[in-house]
């Protein structure tokens, strides 16, 4: 018999839709995958060369649990260079993607029934991981009218003596919302009053940002000591399969994560770590400038294509590579609602009827939503919307 924990855990909807799309493709269908958030470009060749060199030079063995010293040094430099954050080597833990950083943190910090505040729509795995740790997700709902952002008032209202963690994600997956300095300051004002609350700031989309500037919440000195900053190489260098994520954390938290990692995964793949040393020498902001313009072009393309679909409502995302649309109008429409009763139904309808993979809003804690990833080729995006429009007619 499986454990209650695993029986109560949902599947990762982002990865589930991707695997459904893959299966249909294997059956010969012309599937367009707008579900998973995975850049469709190649990692820079100097990173690939560094990995090959690492193999030739014999880096086949365990590394220190929390990562290679030279990589930690690069991460400290990166935090200083790009985020104005001072982290010491002892505050860095390198993990198998930010996903492992998050579960390490939750396992280190959460006791049964502790509360974790999560603004919604949220990335699918935050919610499931909190439940897995037997803690309680406390959701702050936002709407398209709020630009999918929480206010300091909403935040303060849900804080209780049980609040242990506030999870924060800007640029946000799935909405693409980006908090500006003033909005951050308002949140910081509240959080600094509750120094026991740990803020986990997931900044994996830091560089995929259009007209705004990314600001790390830990750069506000009032909350530095209660904040963990997360980042990784998956999105910025198109290295999703290499699994390299990292945190800058208060030392006592970094030590706990090191302890967990020592008992679970030992360390991150040595070759990937060696290559990451070279990757982090460069500021992706410059490396990515062409790719960012391409993403911006595709974002605007999707916005224009959506404008012709009256059942879809959207706000312009300022970062990441997702468009999160509100499909309330479609779910309320008599023409559809005898067979499409929820966003899950609609995502499955799109997949089965016109072979377009997306992810339902329900997976992100927003009932009437749909996430569309535009990390795909322009031609595929145009074709996908042609099919969707035809279907809805």
Interface residues with ligand GLU (CB under 6 A) are 12, 14-15, 36-37, 99, 123-125, 173
CB of 106 to ligand GLU, least distance (A): 15
CB of 175 to ligand GLU, least distance (A): 12
Q: Which residues contact 7 (CB under 8 A, 6 or more apart)?
A: none
Report the residue number, 14 or 311, with the smaller CB distance to ligand GLU: 14
How many other CB atoms sit within 10 Å of the CB of residue 24?
A: 17
Report the residue number, 12 or 40, with the smaller CB distance to ligand GLU: 12
Q: Which residues contact 30 (CB under 8 A, 6 or more apart)?
A: 355
- Rounded distance between C-alpha atoms, residue 268 and residue 281, angstroms: 19
CB of 221 to ligand GLU, least distance (A): 30
Do 14 and 36 contact (CB within 8 A), yes or no?
Answer: yes
Report the residue number, 67 or 245, with the smaller CB distance to ligand GLU: 245
Report the residue number, 66 or 169, with the smaller CB distance to ligand GLU: 169
- Rounded distance between C-alpha atoms, residue 122 and residue 118, angstroms: 7
Residue with smallest beta-carbon separation from ligand GLU: 37
CB of 98 to ligand GLU, least distance (A): 8
Report the residue number, 13 or 315, with the smaller CB distance to ligand GLU: 13
CB of 265 to ligand GLU, least distance (A): 17
Q: Which residues pair with 138 in a beta bridge?
A: 117
Report the residue number, 98 or 191, with the smaller CB distance to ligand GLU: 98
CB of 97 to ligand GLU, least distance (A): 8
Q: What beta strand segments (E) does 109-237 contain? A: 115-120, 136-141, 163-169, 198-202, 227-232
Report the residue number, 15 or 348, with the smaller CB distance to ligand GLU: 15
How many other CB atoms sit within 10 Å of the CB of residue 307?
A: 10
- In sign, the C-alpha dihedral spanning 118, 201, 153, 208 is negative
CB of 322 to ligand GLU, least distance (A): 8
Task: Look at the block and give the residue holding tokens 């790009």.
Answer: 82
Do 148 and 175 contact (CB within 8 A), yes or no?
Answer: yes
Nearest residue to 206 via CA among 292, 311, 99: 292
- Rounded distance between C-alpha atoms, residue 174 and residue 321, angstroms: 9
Do 179 and 320 contact (CB within 8 A), yes or no?
Answer: no
């Amino acid at each position: 018999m499986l454990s209650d924990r695993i029986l109560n855990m949902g599947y990762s909807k982002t990865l589930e839709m991707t695997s459904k799309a893959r299966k249909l493709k294997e059956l010969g269908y012309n599937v367009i995958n707008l579900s998973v958030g995975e850049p469709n470009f190649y990692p820079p060749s100097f990173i690939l060369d560094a990995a090959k060199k690492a193999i030739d030079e014999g880096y086949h063995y365990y590394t220190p649990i929390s990562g290679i010293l030279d990589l930690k040094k690069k991460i400290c430099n990166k935090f200083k260079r790009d985020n104005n954050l001072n982290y010491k080597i002892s505050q860095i833990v390198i993990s198998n993607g930010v996903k492992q950083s998050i579960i390490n943190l939750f396992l280190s910090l959460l006791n049964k029934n502790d509360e974790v505040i999560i603004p919604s729509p949220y990335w699918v795995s935050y919610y499931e991981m909190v439940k897995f740790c037997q803690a309680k997700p406390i959701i702050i709902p936002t709407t398209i009218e709020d630009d999918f952002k929480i206010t300091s008032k909403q935040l303060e209202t849900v804080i209780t003596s049980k609040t242990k963690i506030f999870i924060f994600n800007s640029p946000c997956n799935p909405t693409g919302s980006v908090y500006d300095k003033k909005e951050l300051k308002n949140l910081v004002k509240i959080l600094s009053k509750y120094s026991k609350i740990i803020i986990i700031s997931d900044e994996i989309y830091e560089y995929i940002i259009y007209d705004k500037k990314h600001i790390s919440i830990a750069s506000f000195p009032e909350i530095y000591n209660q904040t963990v900053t997360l980042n990784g190489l998956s999105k910025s260098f198109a290295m999703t399969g290499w699994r390299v994520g990292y945190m800058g954390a208060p030392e006592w938290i970094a030590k706990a994560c090191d302890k967990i990692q020592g008992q679970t995964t030992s360390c991150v793949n040595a070759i990937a770590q060696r290559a990451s040393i070279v990757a982090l020498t460069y500021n992706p902001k410059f490396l990515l400038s062409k790719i960012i313009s391409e993403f911006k072009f595709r974002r605007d393309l999707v916005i224009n294509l959506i404008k012709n679909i009256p059942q879809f409502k959207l706000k312009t995302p300022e970062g990441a590579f997702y468009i999160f649309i509100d499909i309330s109008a479609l779910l309320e429409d008599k023409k559809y609602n005898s067979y499409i009763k929820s966003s899950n139904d609609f995502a499955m309808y799109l997949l089965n009827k016109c072979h377009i993979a997306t992810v339902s809003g329900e997976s992100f804690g927003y009932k009437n939503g749909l996430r569309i990833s535009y990390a795909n080729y322009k031609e595929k995006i145009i074709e996908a919307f042609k099919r969707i429009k035809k279907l809805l007619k």
